[in-house]
Structure 1
Amino acid sequence: MYSIKGEGKNRGGERGHENEIDLKSVFDEYYDRLIYFAVQLINDREQAQDVVQEAFVKYWDYRENIASERYAVKNYLYTTVKHLSFNVLRHNRIVDKYVEKQPLTEPADQPVIDAIITSEVLAEIHLAIQSLPENYRIISLKGFFAGKKNQEIADELGMSVNTVKKQKQKALQLLRLKLTSDLFAILLWYTF
């Protein structure tokens, strides 16, 4: 049985914690990754959030039919998000009246696998950035993920461009220690 801590019963009808997976921890662990994944498939953050929310509702409704191992939960959530995203794409094509011009074809498996990998990698990088001291974190998020130039960041934060450059360099040094060499290389490739 999967339940929020302390609620519900296991499959045998008795209270038990050994097979429980805390819904909040599952949500916290996978929500951002699933959002990245869905956005890559449907290119709309609001619709991606709706898809991920629906995937968690479906997970909750069918949790008793899903193995209690983390990988089974992860596979279920990614598969559900993929199918729901395809449904959104189909619906969008119909609403936009492009059915005649664009046949309803699902993307090949490789782009889906690439999207999963990208969302997982970006989630790991994002977690590392979140662990940085506040100034480094803010500058890193604005520079690396929002794509802002040093001058823009300096103007927004009321500091000199040199301070932004120095703090960005220090953030990169800290991230180099926190991330594997592959993830750090991806961060550098993604941001430059």
Structure 2
Amino acid sequence: MRQDEQQALRELHGDYAQLLWRFVMRLVHERAQAEDVVQETLLRAWQHPEVLAREPSALRAWLFTVARNLIIDDWRSARHRHEFGTDQLPEVPGDDQTERVLDAWLVGDALESLSPEHREVIRQAYYGGRDTASIASELEIPEGTVKSRLHYGLRALRLALEERGVSGR
């Protein structure tokens, strides 16, 4: 950009930026958007040097018309029609539960492959959080049998999971 062009642009900005900004703010009510419209208007004036040679009243009319048209174009744009402002933040995404769901499905499927006796003892101990004495009392079997079923049931469960592609460690 030549020195005289830079000077002309500075003068244009100095003479019209505040006037344009106040005009645009009355229409859009958003500081950032008003600044963008003023900047674009002055840029378009600089890109059309023949406009800068006009009388001040004609130049002013041209600038205000360009600014108004930029605002109207924005109002008609798809962005303006389909987007809306809000004072609420979007939902905060939670942790991805996919792995947990898949693991639960795999364990459930593997549990179904066990005998009903082994499955019931494991279900009560691990899902119910019960100790061997209370399981033995409820199932009316010796506590040693509960321990044995837990041991062999967990071993069978580990094998069933390995068959489904789940590694032990």
Query: Looking at both structures, which has the greater relative contact order when contacts are Cα pairs under 8 Å and sequence separation is at least 6?
Result: 1
- TM-score (ref. length: structure 2): 0.42
- TM-score (ref. length: structure 1): 0.38
Would you tell me which structure has more helix in proportion to its own residues? 2
